[in-house]
Structure formats: C-alpha cells, structure tokens
Structure 1
Amino acid sequence: MNTIHRILIVVLILFTSCIDTKPQEVIINPQSFWGENPWQDIRKERINSLLPQALKVAEVDCWLVICRENNNDPIADHIGGENAGGTAAFLFFNDDNGFHSMVFSPSGEATALDDLNIHDEVVSVERGTSAVEMATNFIKEKNFATIAVNSSDSNAMADGLSFTQRTDLENLLMDYEGTLVSSTQLIYEWLSIKLPEEVEILRKAAQLTADWQIEAYKQVIPGQSTDADIAKFLKQKMAEYAVTDGWAPDQNPNVNSGPDRGHSHATDKIIMPGDVIQIDFGIKVYDQWVSDIQRFAYVLKDDETKAPDNIQYYWESGKAGNRAVLAAMKPGVKGVDVDRAQRVLMEAAKSEYVMWSTGHPVGYVAHDVGPNLGGSQASHVRPASEKQLKEGMTFAFDGFHSWKLEDGSLKTISVEEMAIVTKNAAEYLIEPQEELILIPSN
C-alpha cells in the first residue's frame, strides 16, 4: 500500500467519524401529510346517498332547516349552511321523481352556495323577501304531510331551531294541514352511519392517537415527569400535525397516574413507580372527524421486571371485557345488550362498580349520534341504549376493571378501542392494545 492510499484511508476514517449518526428528527409538513380536505365531496355524497333513506326510515316527507349568521343551527356544516349570513331555508325531500335538495338563499350568498354544487337547486332570495316564507309556500305547493324541523328534547344536533324561528314557521303554516314533527329520528338515522371513506379517515386518526400515546409513555421519567408533562407532549404532537382536540381542550388528553378522576384535566401529580397510568386522548382531523382511544401503562418498581400479579389480573380482566364487547357488536343488537356482555365478566372478575357506559358512538364528535352502549346495570334504560346497532356505525368502547387502592379510592382500567359495525359483526379500526405497557423506573 503506497503513501497516497494510506493518506486517503486516514482521511476517510476521519470523515466518517464526524458524521452525526443520531436519528434525524422527522419534520412533518401537515399540508402534504393530510392533503386536500375531503369534507366537501364526502358531505355531498352523504346528502345524496344516506339522507334519502333516512327520510324514509323516519317517515318524513320533507326536512326544513333554517340557517343564519352567528347563532347557526348545529347541523349547518352537514348541509352546506355554515356560511349563512342572512336567513336561508334548506329543504330535503323525496317525491315520485326521487330525492331532492333545495335552498332558498339570500341573493348576496346564493351564488357562492350554488358554486359548491351540493344542492339540486339554489333559489336566490331578493332583499326584503323572506326565505322561510318562500320555503313554506313551496311546502304548501308540494302538499307535504310531515315536515321535520330541528326541535328536539333529546338530541342537540336536532335542536337548532330557535323559539322565534319556530313561532314564525308555525304562523306561516297556520292554515296548512301538514304537521311539523321533530327531526330527532331523521338526524339519528343520517348521522349515525358513516361512509367507507369516513371510516378510513377515522382509522388514520385512531392510529395516530394510539401511536402518539405509546410515544408519550417513552417520555416518562419516574419521580420527575408529571401527568401534565405527558399531556403537554401530546399537545405538541397535535400542533406538529395540525390537528385539534377531540373534545374540550382543557381535558384532552386526560393523563392520570393516580386514583380515578373521571373526565378531567391532567394534573401536576408526579408519576411514581407502582403507578398505573391512563391516557384518554382524541384528535379531530380535517376539522370534522374525531378519534377516542385510551392506552395504559404500569411503572415498574426497582425490583420488578413485570407487573405484579394483581395489576396484570386487572389488565387482563379489562381486556377480556373489551373483547367481549366487540364480539357482541353486530347489526340488530341493542346497545344495552352490548353493555351486558362485559358486565357479566366484570362481576365474575370481582371488579368494583363502574358507573360509565361501556361505549358510545364516535365520529363527528367524541360522543356522537347513535346507540349508547350502556344501561344493563341501571335502574332504568335510557332510549339511546334501546337502539339497535347498524352496519356503518362507529363506536369507542371500554373494557373495565376497577379496584380499591390502599386509601379506599378507586382505580379503573378502561381498555378503550374504536370499531366499525360491519354486515355481520364488528371489527377494530386499528390493532388493539394487547399488553400493558411497562415503564422502567431507572
């Protein structure tokens, strides 16, 4: 080997030793990661493919929604009325020629609404003319027998009609033989079902929610980290990916390494060896769809290499309850009966009483429209728990095991996953948590 070769080898060794071998931080570009918001197309598809059947099931001839500026109807975003300034009236109906959507919109907004290409017809309403009156004249012309309006005592999404709007509407239809009915059932039938495209979005959101929780647990330094520290880490992940909170920001995520606190904010409690940690976390993606996932961890004590037998038993009991719930979920089964599937296991496993329902619909909000999975241990069953599951419904649901701590307070493992009801059963949106996450104490 000549001198030049030796020099080159030395230079190469020096060069490679200077290379930073640390893993490079991945910078996320939210715009490219998420792509274009699909809501406009999905909303139109939901109106045209799901709403006609919802009208039929609810036995409604026509659905009238009134939208306005500043204090809008909560359903506005689902029908294209989110930008209403002046009062606009939206009509949806079936007749002998099929399904139709029609809007009476103030002239200053009608062009932009028509450009969205959501509705069959957008009628421009000149200043000084009432859009609602024009809509009621059309209702009389079509001779609709039942007109659904957004007044409900059980569903906030179906309760957007104000008292004065209702009074005005009743006066305009005073001599008309048609009947105003609540849109509660109609909106239930429509919103509780999710399109396959929406399920895929929820699947992506659920996976991120779970992955970030696993990442958050890796940040825990027992004796130093607080519950609030872990919550802050997850907030940073949300900001990095440009997503928002799945529910009230102050309580999302709920990180709790102490006794049960229910729906709560993360506190400054220091995470210690022997703690069971709960993270209850949800994100909203595309400003429309929401996830709700929980992940659990145990902080090992100095002399431990695995969770103590009692903690492992609690974990396995909660997981078994969750799996029993999934097995019970199928079209035609009532929510109360899904709840009962795990309560039997909880009793056999000697769990303490858990007041929470087993599960709830999830989609546009964390507690969405649809059957409640609860009530089997209650003195009375609420109507939502008597509803039957249908294909296309999405749920978040828990597997419970609760026990008493030394001070008499309760601690509950609630193995929460998300699932979609299929034609004959139900399936998880993502891989469920199988093992309790173990955090070393040093």
Structure 2
Amino acid sequence: MKEKLEAATQLMDQEEIDTWLILTRKGYDPSLPFVTDMDTDHLTAYFIHKSGEHVAIVSEEDYDFFKGTGVYSNVKTYSSHMDEVFVKVFNAYEPKKLALNISLYDHLYDGLSLGLYQWIERLIGSERLKEIEVSSEPIVQPLRCIKSPAETEAVQTAVNHTTDIFEAAFEQMKVGMTEKEIGKLFVEEMKKRGVTNGLGEPFDLPLVCIVRCGLAHRKPGDHIVEPGDTVIIDFSLRAESGYVSDIARTCYFLNEDEDSAPQDVQAAFNASVEAISASIEALTPGKKGHEVDAVGRSVIESHGYPTIRHSVGHQVGRATHDGGTILGPRKMPPRPQVEGVIQAGEIYAIEPTVIQDDGLPCILVEENVLVTDQEPVVLSKRQLELVTIPYAVVKQK
C-alpha cells in the first residue's frame, strides 16, 4: 500500500493532477486496496495529494480502523453527516485538477457512483466541479497495472500455489471421475493451503471441461471422463495477500493400448505451446496489445486451426482480469484496451488457444508472465509437455 501511494503521487505529478478523490460507501471502489487496507462501513473520503500529505475523512464509528495507520497524515471524523468536514478539506486543498474515479471503458477505474458524484456537485457546485474534474484513469490504470516489488512477490506466491495444486490434482485424477469431482480436488488442495478461488465464491470449482462434451466457460458438470478424453482445467487462485494467478493446463487420459496421446491431440498441444512461446517473446515494453495478440494468433492459424475466439492474453493482479492493456485483436468499433502500450512491471496471463468444434482436439495452456525492461519473466512452471493420465479400469459407482 505504501509503495502504491508513492507511485500514485509520482503519477499525479506526471499528469499535472494535484488531488485525487476516492469517495466510497462500504468499500465499493475497486481502487481502494491500493490506497488503504482499512474496511469502513460508512461514507468515506480519501484525498490523495501529490505532495504526499493525504487526508482521510471517516465516520466516528470507523475511526478506530485508522488509529496508528501512519499512511494518512490527517484523519478527520464526522458524526452524522460528512458535508461540513468534506467542504473544509476540499477548500483547504483548493484543487486545480480533481481526479475522480470515472471511466467510459473499464469498470475497475469507474468506482464513483452517480449518487456520490451528485453529492459532490451539491457541495461544491456543478460549475466549479466541471472546471476542475478529470478522470483518474491516467493515475489508476498504471497504478493497478504496473506491479510494485511487493505486488510481484504476491502474484508469484499465488502462482506457486496454483502450479503445486495442479501437480497434486494430476496425481489423483483418473478415468471415471466427473468434471465436478476433478474440480473438488482443487478445492480440497486450496483448503489445505489456506487459499481460495480467484473467481466467484472462495471455494467455487475451477473451470473443468471434457473436450468431448464441449469447450466453453461453463461450470463443471456431471460428465464422466472416459479413456481417450482430453480435459482442460482453467484455475484462478487468490492468495492471502489478495493477489491472484490465472493458469490453465490440459491433460489426456490414455486408452488401454496407448502410452502417449494421439498425433492430432499432440499436434494441437504443440501448436498451443509454440504460440505461447512466440507471444512471450513478443511481450516487451512499447508494444501495443494487438501486436502481441497478432503474434500468438498467427502461430495458431499457421498450423491450420481456427483463429482464437478470445484474446491472446490479459493482465492479472488484484483481479483475474486486471484491466488495462489487453492482448486482443483489433475490431470495430475500436477498443482502447488493445491499443494500450505494454509496460515493464505488468503481469499477463498468456493463453493462445486451439479451439475446435465437434469434439476435435482443443488445447488450453495458460502461463503468467512478468514484463521487464529486459526479457519477459515466466512466473509459472511452464507446461511444455502434455500431461497424460495412465489408463485405469473404471469401477462401477
């Protein structure tokens, strides 16, 4: 949090913004974890100033949360209504440019509700607000996307848990299990490690898809794994720090007479791994998101597979899909996210995928990669070989 507040003041200076206001009820704003680790129940205002002299306005009931924090040089309280205290702090700052969490394109930067915006208008006047308000997106986007050393370490911890859980689950998976039963292996391993799911509820099942039964972002079902099945597992994990991973693996269940996967399944896997390698190599500062997408996409297409139906990659951090630049294709109307410029310190999930219909081989492998000023750093243990699950006789349930 201290690293992020220091980064925020530097970004404000670059953007010539003197004051950033976060106004929130019940911790609603997605940017809050970067400026405070305090949970408040009532209306709270955070004035973040480029000078480093930050002020928080909290209710008397919430004040105990802020005792001794050391982050905000001044914590002011109110009893029933914040109005008077807010106006005094606002006037003391006299902001020339007031950044508000408003975004046209990304919900992660759009944390100010309409009701609270109208509340600010009422207090300081709509004309005054129009003169000084700007979107905080130029601050919040790099603040969220460019990871500090502590954040990178937190993501690495989540990644390590994730790859360890995959390895433990592969040892327990066998023919005759349902998609739900495979998913429960991951939940059991999460509980052992004191971590939770990065998407949905804490102990929701990860995405588990038997390719024969259709590949989509669907919940695991009661479909039963048979010999000769390819199974895809897409798993996001949230560590105690609140930071997440997003990793996918593909495995093949051997038939009785097989000691390796069929050639068409192996060929699809090889194409996916080649596309990931090419995408990682292209993941350098200064590139635009669509340029990296085009690299991974072209590899998949060059092997004769249909083009990827989603983006080649997205950012991970506090959220599984962490906003900012997306490694996606150019479309109409234009998407600002794919025109974004890749920066050192960002962490991407790279997932160029072979997707085919009618039960044809599909492969999803997803790796987490840190962008640096030198070469990209792969945070996950790469899946370079197709995992094969030994044949076993199915026992009747």
Report the TM-score, using the length of structure 2 for normalisation. 0.91
For residues 303-318 of structure 1, what are the structure 2 equivalents within 5 Å? 303-318=257-272
- Give the superposition deviation at 1:87: 2.1
CA–CA distance in structure 2, aligned partners of residues 351 and 310 of structure 1: 11
Which residue in the other structure is 1:278 paired with?
232
Q: Which amino acid aligns with 1:173?
A: I
CA contact (8 A) 1:359 1:372 kept: yes
For residues 303-342 of structure 1, what are the structure 2 equivalents within 5 Å? 303-342=257-296
1:256 aligns with 2:209: yes
Please give the per-residue CA displacement for 1:340-368, whole angstroms capped at 9, x wherever unaligned: 11111112101113211011100101001
Which residue in the other structure is 1:359 paired with?
313
| Candidates 71, 89, 93, aligned match of 2:49 | 93
SS of residue paired to 1:333: coil
Please give the per-residue CA displacement for 1:359-399, whole angstroms capped at 9, x wherever unaligned: 110010100122101014x3444111111111111111113
Which residue in the other structure is 1:148 paired with?
99
Which residue in the other structure is 2:255 paired with?
301
For residues 29-428 of structure 1, what are the structure 2 equivalents within 5 Å? 43-48=1-6, 50-69=7-26, 72-80=28-36, 82-94=38-50, 98-125=51-78, 127-128=79-80, 130=82, 132-174=83-125, 176=128, 178-222=131-175, 224-249=176-201, 252-259=205-212, 260-286=214-240, 288-376=242-330, 378-404=331-357, 408-409=358-359, 411-428=361-378
SS of residue paired to 1:413: coil
The Cα RMSD (Å) is 2.1
Q: Which amino acid aligns with 2:268?
A: Y
- Give the superposition deviation at 1:316: 0.5
CA–CA distance in structure 1, aligned partners of residues 10 and 73 of structure 2: 17
- Give the superposition deviation at 1:219: 1.6
- Give the superposition deviation at 1:278: 0.7
| 1:304–1:124 Cα change, 3 Å | same
Q: Which runs of 5+ in 2 are unaligned?
A: 393-397
Q: Which amino acid aligns with 1:247?
A: L
Larger Rg: 1
CA contact (8 A) 1:258 1:275 kept: yes
| 1:360–1:169 Cα change, 3 Å | same
| Candidates 378, 385, 390, aligned match of 1:435 | 385
- Give the superposition deviation at 1:275: 1.1
361-370 vs 152-161, greater mean Cα deviation:
152-161
SS of residue paired to 2:53: strand
CA contact (8 A) 1:394 1:419 kept: yes
- Give the superposition deviation at 1:105: 2.2
CA contact (8 A) 1:91 1:135 kept: no
- Give the superposition deviation at 1:58: 4.0
Q: Which runs of 5+ in 1 are unaligned?
A: 1-42
Q: Which amino acid aligns with 1:402?
A: I
- Give the superposition deviation at 1:312: 1.1
Aligned residues: 388
Report the TM-score, using the length of structure 1 for normalisation. 0.82
Q: Which amino acid aligns with 1:351?
A: Y
| Identity level (%) | 27
Which residue in the other structure is 1:16 paired with?
none
Please give the per-residue CA displacement for 1:16-45, whole angstroms capped at 9, x wherever unaligned: xxxxxxxxxxxxxxxxxxxxxxxxxxx122
- Give the superposition deviation at 1:65: 1.1
Q: Which amino acid aligns with 1:310?
A: D
SS of residue paired to 2:54: strand
- Give the superposition deviation at 1:210: 1.6
CA contact (8 A) 1:251 1:263 kept: no
CA–CA distance in structure 2, aligned partners of residues 44 and 440 of structure 1: 50
- Give the superposition deviation at 1:129: 5.0
CA contact (8 A) 2:102 2:111 kept: yes
| 1:180–1:379 Cα change, 3 Å | closer
Q: Which amino acid aligns with 1:115?
A: G
- Give the superposition deviation at 1:162: 2.3
- Give the superposition deviation at 1:239: 1.1
Q: Which amino acid aligns with 1:134?
A: V
SS of residue paired to 1:176: helix
CA contact (8 A) 2:19 2:97 kept: yes
CA contact (8 A) 2:297 2:308 kept: no
385-394 vs 77-86, greater mean Cα deviation:
77-86
CA–CA distance in structure 2, aligned partners of residues 403 and 128 of structure 1: 59
201-210 vs 388-397, greater mean Cα deviation:
201-210
